Chains A and B, each alone.
Chain A
Amino acid sequence: MNKMERHFISLFHIGIAIHHFNKHSERYLGLSLVQWCLLKHLIDMPAVSAHALAKAVGIHPSSLTQTLKRLERKKYIFIIGDPQDTRKKVISITRSGKDILDTTSEKMNNWSKGLSGLGNELVSIQSYLEIQVSKGQDWS
């Protein structure tokens, strides 16, 4: 196996590890990384459409749907019809959502100390992956 291949294997393992980390985090803290990230954005956007939230987080609106449903079931957010446009929805964080975010953020801060040795590696990996995806069909 050459060096490049070893990098790709590592990326694959990172993907799996993040998946496990998410599950672990949801189980022990009550929030997965994705859920935490959405609530973190919702704090400063008190009543926002799914579209605007997705834009702020930097993901496609369709990738939000499942996470929003889970957060709503846990009563950390509530979703109401947009008073101006019944086809749209407005999302808000609840008091419970704010509370879990506070407790989780504290623990996340402790965890993140383990990452303090990292420089810009995380950003580099993210940029590399996003650039590759954005190239789309050029891959073939």
Chain B
Amino acid sequence: MVLESLSFTNTLYAFDFDGTLAKIVRIPSEAYMASTTEGLLKELSSLVPVAIVSGRSIQDLKQRLGFLPQYLIGNHGLESLENNNSSLVEAKKVCAAWGEGLKKINFELGIEIEDKTYSIAIHYRRSRNKTLARKQINLAIESLVPSPRVIPGKSVFNLLPSNSPHKGAAILDLMQKSKTKHALYIGDDDTDEDVFGVPYDEGQLMTVRVGRKKSSQAKYFIEHQSDINRLLKYLIRFHKHPPQTKRSRGHR
């Protein structure tokens, strides 16, 4: 019932995409939200400010969504719907250079490079020998100039320019933009620890991780990605049809 108390103040509801709104799939380009999830998210976003904060590029995200929530953040916090600043130009240049450096990876190991313009994801989900793939990737990353900020995820290494903003900074920025006093953030991966671990004023942010993990800094957990629908339903109910107490029905 902690969730209900979020509906009493101005709360921003922010979600990671892969592994949170959409099921993790073997081929990342085939990840989509289940239609029920999408319907629920759309309904929630008609009631309250909703954000999707993903490692994917905005362009990629847009193709996967049947509607646009109020806020869309791509490339781990680097890209938003309206920004087009110098850090993006710089990131684009750096990623192009890295792309060259990564060509020497042995792609027979099932490693795939995803160029997201402002960041790079190196996937090895389809690799048969993941240990060897990780070793190869680490070697390649070490040789990159300038050194990237590396955020490991589920069978993926995300490379970002070292000074780029992360998801945690993006959430704080979104709270300001949306004039909300509080935020709920749900994510499933190591990249989301940037949000879970940000030293917010206590009581300003509620963090939820999909899947229990001891070392995670998230405060709450939901067990499975499929639980997201139940959570969305709760949020919609609390905002749309608040349960009536005796007092709010008007008789004491």
Contact = CB atoms under 8 A, between A and B. Distances in A.
Interface in B191-233: 201-204, 206, 219-221
Contact of B2 (A47, A53, A96, A103): A47
Contacts of A56: 203
Interface residues of B, number: 23
A83 interface: yes
Given A45-B204, A49-B202, A99 B2 contact: no
Given A46-B182, A52-B203, A99 B245 contact: yes
A56 B182 CA distance: 15
A98 B8 contact: yes
Contacts of A84: 219
A95 B243 contact: yes
Contacts of B247: 96, 99-100, 103
B1 A92 contact: yes
B245 A46 contact: no
Interface string A96-109: 10111001000000
Contacts of B4: 94-95
A44 interface: yes
A38 to B, nearest CB: 13
Nearest to B242: A95
Contacts of A92: 1-2, 5
B248 A46 contact: no
Interface residues of A, number: 27
B248 A93 contact: no
B203 A48 contact: yes
B203 A95 contact: no
B54 to A, nearest CB: 25
A55 to B, nearest CB: 8
A46 B243 contact: no
Interface in A21-62: 42-49, 51-53, 56
Interface of A: 42-49, 51-53, 56, 78, 80, 82-84, 90, 92-96, 98-100, 103
5 interchain residue pairs of minimum CB distance: A45-B203, A48-B203, A52-B202, A46-B5, A99-B247
27 contacts: A42-B5, A43-B8, A44-B9, A44-B182, A46-B2, A46-B5, A46-B8, A46-B9, A46-B11, A46-B182, A46-B203, A46-B206, A47-B5, A47-B203, A47-B206, A47-B219, A49-B202, A84-B219, A93-B8, A94-B1, A94-B5, A95-B243, A95-B245, A95-B248, A96-B245, A98-B8, A99-B248
